[in-house]
Structure 1
Amino acid sequence: MKRSALIAALVLGLAPLSIAQAQDVSGKDISGKDMPGKRILQRVDTNGDGVISKDEMLAARERLFTKLDRNGDGVIDEKEIEGARDAIMDRADAAQARLGTRWRRMDGNGDGKVSQDEFRNRMPLFDLADRNGDGTLSADEIAAIRKVFADRAG
């Protein structure tokens, strides 16, 4: 997609729609790979029919507007956008710090580098999520660990 077309799609709120159209209902592309639009489709497709209608897109945009209009005065002002920007930067800073911490933890021998073996063998999140210790993650275990992280973030 050309840059100007992408910008127009974002402004019109159509980018999530075009992403959703590129995948099937399961969220996988033709090759079976997960598609990044699956999350958008799940959030915006409120009636669960596998497509996003114009009404669903308008409702999603209304929810976004309400979220950005923090004081509820019916307009989004520069202060509210600055607050949203700050929140995004705070999350990015926190993610960057977590990445650094995780990298240091993977560096088992402390040489300042993470080898392929160190990277492959370090899976604390998997071990944490595998509550019954059977070496596999069930849908219930994945849901439980996602809830833990959602509760911490919220």
Structure 2
Amino acid sequence: MKRPALIAALLLGFAPLSAAQAQDHPNKDMPGQRILQRIDTNGDGLISKDEMKVAREHLFKKLDRNGDGVIDENEVESARQAIKDRAEVAQARAGNRWRRMDTNGDGKVSEEEFTASMPLFEIADRNGDGKLSANEIATARKLVSDRAN
């Protein structure tokens, strides 16, 4: 990402969300929904100027790592590097996940291999009954959220 675009994205508050900040919402897959969930603190489905201001103040504090009241070039570079590092970790995880799904070792993941691989389901199914209850889902979400933070 080019530096001006990165700075614009950071200053507009379009930084990535942690799993802990995301909330259940019926339209969670709609474009912009994750940002709405993060910034819409009163839950009315809209972002007011006041809510955006609070979100930008929070983001500014995160970016101003040394707390001197300004975001300097070093802090922007630090934010850029953190984003790059997260992307590299995500790429490595995707590669590892793909290799684990390739159970016959042929270098390809068939539909059968893909659909049979559900490690998060296995982790969430605490009682081993092959079904997920609301409590098991909530516990799994909390574990993932805690690990992400």
Q: How does 1:138-153 map to 2 (within 5 A)?
A: 138-153=133-148
Q: How many residues align?
A: 132
Partner Cα separation in structure 1 for residue 123 and residue 94 of structure 2: 18
| Secondary structure class of the residue paired with 2:50 | helix
Q: Contact 1:27 / 1:35 at 8 angstroms: preserved in 2?
A: no
Deviations 1:81-122 (A, max 9, x none): 111111111111111111111101000101111111101111
| Secondary structure class of the residue paired with 1:80 | helix
Q: Paired residue for 1:38, among 20, 27, 33? A: 33
Partner Cα separation in structure 2 for residue 87 and residue 140 of structure 1: 33
TM-score normalised per structure 1: 0.75
Q: Paired residue for 1:79, among 67, 74, 80? A: 74
Q: Which residue of 1 aligns with 2:116?
A: 121
Q: Which runs of 5+ in 2 are unaligned?
A: 1-7, 15-24
Q: Paired residue for 1:68, among 54, 60, 63? A: 63
| 1:11 to partner: Cα distance | 8.7
- Which sits farther off after the overlay, 109-118 or 38-47? 38-47
Q: Contact 1:108 / 1:118 at 8 angstroms: preserved in 2?
A: yes
Q: Paired residue for 1:111, among 81, 87, 106? A: 106
| 1:65 to partner: Cα distance | 0.8
| 1:52 to partner: Cα distance | 1.1
Q: Paired residue for 1:56, among 42, 48, 51? A: 51
Q: Which residue of 2 aligns with 1:23?
A: none
TM-score normalised per structure 2: 0.77
| 1:10 to partner: Cα distance | 5.8
Deviations 1:66-92 (A, max 9, x none): 110101111111100111111111111
User: RMSD in angstroms over aligned alpha carbons?
Assistant: 2.4
| 1:150 to partner: Cα distance | 2.5
Question: Identity across aligned pairs (percent)?
Answer: 70
Partner Cα separation in structure 2 for residue 78 and residue 120 of structure 1: 46
Partner Cα separation in structure 1 for residue 61 and residue 13 of structure 2: 19
Q: Which runs of 5+ in 1 are unaligned?
A: 1-8, 16-25
Runs (4+) off by over 6 Å: none
